[in-house]
Amino acid sequence: MSTEQRILIKGNEAVAFGAVDAGLRCYFGYPITPQNEIPEALSTLLPERGGQFVQAESEVAAVNMLLGAAACGVPSMTSSSGCGLSLMQEGISYMAGSHIPGVLVNMQRGGPGLGDIGPSQGDYFQAVKGGGHGDHRNLVLAPATAQECYDCMFRALALAFKYANPVLVLGDAIVGQIKEPVRRVPPADAVSEKTLAALAAPWRMEGYGKRGPDAQPRLLKSVYLAEGALAERNRLLAQKYAAMQAECAWECTDVEDATLVVVAFGSVARIARSTIRRLRAEGVRVGLFRPLTLFPFPAEALLALLPGRRFLVMEQNLGQMVEDVRLALFGQPGVTPATVQWHGIMPGLFVNADDLREPMLQALKEAF
């Protein structure tokens, strides 16, 4: 009998529990469906622990409060969905430009515009290509279950502080709303609050008096007007983004003997896994490649699967991650347009494992 206690909570609540267990001190957010359980849970969890919860007047304000708190080297986050993330792009770009470690959760909803409150993966480009103005990149994590929501908050804070860079947790309405058993135990790679504080010590805002009598004042900024200064800043950022490649994470299921590998993340990946399980029972050799980080995209791991296999990208948008998959395989011997196929689920739809069966069988037919 397992002595491990599990709690039955929504993905959104798991985000909140994971964040406070990982050392979160400040939360700033503005209500938007389908992520409201995150601020609701944190509005009691954080003050209980001496932390700060602020319901901001807008997402613009929330992300800038996050910028301020994270600049102090204090573990801080915000959360929102589609429309809200659009408003937050300004602050994300400034955080990237100033080396500030904000953590943001996007429980995606259908778009564009006001869209709906159902699941969608339409914010993929916005998340992984930067999203705001200027050249910047966010580290992007893609949980698919409530347990992963809990676990990935540890990883999100650790990565944000390691790189002094914004980290986005990209879920969706299904991931946020689904209620599942969660083990509330820090994951093996969890980083202590002390480690986070040590990572922030060289740059955090605190008042120079905290650093001794002869300390020099500090400045965190993104504006570089002197000739050559911004180029130098961008070179530094490029090096940082290159170093982030080391953080690639992914999961392979049933790929060893597969002739067709489905590439999917988040809620679509877990639905596809059910379909794959059923097809396998019928002897169909299909597997799943699931990126756990969307930036950096695990291109090399995907490339390693290329010999003898075809790929089907399944995502709930009009075709976004498929571009990164094609880019990963671009120029490789034997790669043809048929190597990477794509099946899009329209944002606003709820699909089940049966809905993905035909597209997979069709892809198998077309691929060989």
197 binds another protein (CB under 8 A): no
Residue 237 CB neighbours (<10 A): 18
Q: Is the dihedral of CA 216, 217, 221, 225 positive or negative?
A: negative
365, amino acid identity: K
Q: Quick one: which of 188, 219, 226, 281 contacts another protein (CB under 8 A)?
A: 219
Q: Diameter of the chain by CA atoms?
A: 73
**At closest approach, how far in Å is the CB of 40 from another protein?**
19
Give the closest residue to 266 by CA, choosing from 203, 202, 217, 317: 317
**At closest approach, how far in Å is the CB of 222 from another protein?**
6
201 binds another protein (CB under 8 A): no
| Count of residues in contact with another protein, rule CB under 8 A | 39
CA distance 71 to 207: 12
Helices 59-71 & 82-98 angle (0-180, nearest 10): 30
72 binds another protein (CB under 8 A): yes
Q: Of the ranges 3-11, 212-220, 337-345, 353-361, which one interacts with another protein (CB under 8 A)? A: 212-220
Distances in Å between the Cα of 324 and the Cα atoms of 137, 318, 338 are 15, 14, 16
198 binds another protein (CB under 8 A): no
Give yes or no for a contact between 109 and 173, defined as CB atoms under 8 angstroms apart: yes
Q: Which C-beta is closer to another protein: that of 149 or that of 196?
A: 196
69 binds another protein (CB under 8 A): yes
| Secondary structure of residue 108 in the 3-state scheme | strand
**At closest approach, how far in Å is the CB of 198 from another protein?**
17
52 binds another protein (CB under 8 A): yes
26 binds another protein (CB under 8 A): yes
CA distance 288 to 301: 12
Q: Which helix (H) or strand (E) segment is 88 a member of?
A: helix 82-98
**At closest approach, how far in Å is the CB of 311 from another protein?**
40
67 binds another protein (CB under 8 A): yes
Q: Quick one: which of 7, 31, 60, 306 contacts another protein (CB under 8 A)?
A: 60
Per CB under 8 A, contacts with another protein among 269-288 are none
Give yes or no for a contact between 154 and 196, defined as CB atoms under 8 angstroms apart: no
64 binds another protein (CB under 8 A): yes
**At closest approach, how far in Å is the CB of 98 from another protein?**
6
Residue 363 CB neighbours (<10 A): 23
Q: Tokens 């605190």 sit at which residue?
A: 206
Binding mask 84-113 for another protein (x = CB under 8 A): ------xx--x---x---------------
Residue 290 CB neighbours (<10 A): 22
330 binds another protein (CB under 8 A): no
The residues that touch another protein, with contacts defined as CB under 8 A, are: 25-26, 28, 52, 54, 56-58, 60-62, 64-72, 74, 76, 90-91, 94, 98, 205-210, 217-223
